[in-house]
């Protein structure tokens, strides 16, 4: 992202209470998107959402007070996000600096837990796709490398022995939409394809270090390079499968173990191992 555009997006942080983490995502990251009317999407990580909402009310009473009162106050919206939702509460249709934006507020502990464990698989799914980090006091960008490895491993386990590089990124992108009822009737059926094609180079820069690592281990083999349709083949042997499964979050491995049965697991040599 160009420095001027990044600075413009980051300037929003000056009019809200301090945050520990902030990223933007969505169509605003498309390299050729110059449409200032498009909504900009923020995720804000804070230590105490209830306190943050209360402070934000004091700072931005004009556009925020009615919205907060209608929802029952900072305490109630925090409880709804924690107990009913996915741990993040979004405030949409905010007009600021001639831009339309929405922002989601999440407790930092919940953000980290989701990244590492896929507990709710909402923010972890979001961070598996391209984002622009604007603030990161706790080095979430580094912690997210675990999430990216898990996502790439899961995608490879779901793909056949031969595929294209675009297929790989599409499978990664689709992970967070699996089981999402909106994809059955409310969302564009080509949403994943459009996301990957519009941000292919961003996906590539995110996952290239891991892809190169897997290629060096001979998990992957490329017959061509550089474009969307680069041909890839993968080793589907038991040893590689074991390694990929080992990279999945503990919660996923536990669920796999339950489906297989406590006494029916597979090891690196094809016998038994514990997930």
Top pLDDT among 1 and 182 is at: 1
Confidence class for position 127, pLDDT limits 50, 70, 90? very high
Q: Look at residue 68 in the predicted model and tell me its pLDDT.
A: 55
Q: What percent of the chain stands above pLDDT 90?
A: 51
Higher pLDDT, 228 or 251: 251
Give the residue-averaged pLDDT of 21-44: 80
pTM above 0.85, yes or no: no
- Exposure string of 83-109, with b = 16+ CB inside 10 Å and e = fewer, is eeebbbbebeebeeeebebebbbbbbe
Confidence tier at 182 by pLDDT (50, 70, 90): very low
pLDDT > 80? residue 260: no
pLDDT of residue 268: 41
Structure tokens at 198: 């519009």
Assess whether pLDDT exceeds 80 at residue 21: yes
Output the pLDDT for position 93: 84
If we measure between CA atoms, which residue out of 22, 180, 176 comes closest to residue 105?
22
pLDDT in tens, 85-108: 567 888 888 888 888 899 999 999
Share of the chain above pLDDT 70, in %: 76
What pLDDT is attached to residue 54? 82
pLDDT of residue 139: 94
Residue 229's pLDDT band (cuts 50, 70, 90): confident
Cα 45 to the chain's mean position, in Å?
14
Per residue in 50-65, pLDDT tens? 889 888 877 776 555 5
Q: Phi and psi (nearest 5°) for 129?
A: -105, 165
Residue 263's pLDDT is: 45
**What is the C-alpha separation between 108 and 249, in angstroms, rounded?**
19
């Amino acid at each position: 992202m160009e420095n001027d555009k990044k600075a413009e997006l980051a300037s929003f942080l000056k009019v809200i209470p301090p945050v520990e983490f902030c990223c933007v995502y969505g169509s605003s990251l498309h390299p050729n998107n110059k449409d200032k009317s498009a909504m900009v999407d923020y995720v804000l990580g804070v230590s105490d959402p209830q306190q943050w909402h209360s402070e934000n009310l004091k700072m931005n009473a004009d556009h925020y007070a009615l919205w907060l009162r209608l929802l029952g106050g900072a305490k109630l919206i925090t409880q709804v996000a924690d107990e009913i939702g996915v741990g993040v509460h979004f405030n949409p249709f905010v007009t600021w600096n001639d831009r339309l934006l929405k922002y989601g507020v999440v407790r930092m502990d919940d953000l980290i837990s989701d990244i590492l464990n896929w507990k709710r698989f909402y923010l972890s799914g979001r961070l598996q796709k391209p984002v622009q980090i604007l603030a990161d006091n706790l080095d979430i960008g580094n912690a997210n490398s675990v999430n990216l490895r898990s996502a790439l491993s899961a995608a490879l386990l779901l793909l056949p022995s031969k595929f294209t590089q675009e297929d790989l990124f599409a499978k990664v992108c689709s992970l967070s939409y699996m089981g999402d009822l909106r994809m059955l009737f409310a969302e564009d059926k080509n949403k994943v394809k459009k996301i990957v094609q519009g941000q292919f180079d961003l996906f590539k820069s995110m996952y290239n270090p891991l892809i190169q690592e897997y290629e060096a281990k001979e998990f992957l083999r490329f017959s061509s390079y550089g474009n969307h349709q680069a041909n890839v083949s993968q080793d589907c042997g038991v040893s590689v499968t074991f390694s990929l499964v080992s990279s999945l979050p503990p919660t996923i491995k536990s669920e796999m173990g339950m489906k297989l049965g406590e006494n029916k697991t597979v090891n690196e040599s094809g016998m038994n191992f514990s997930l």
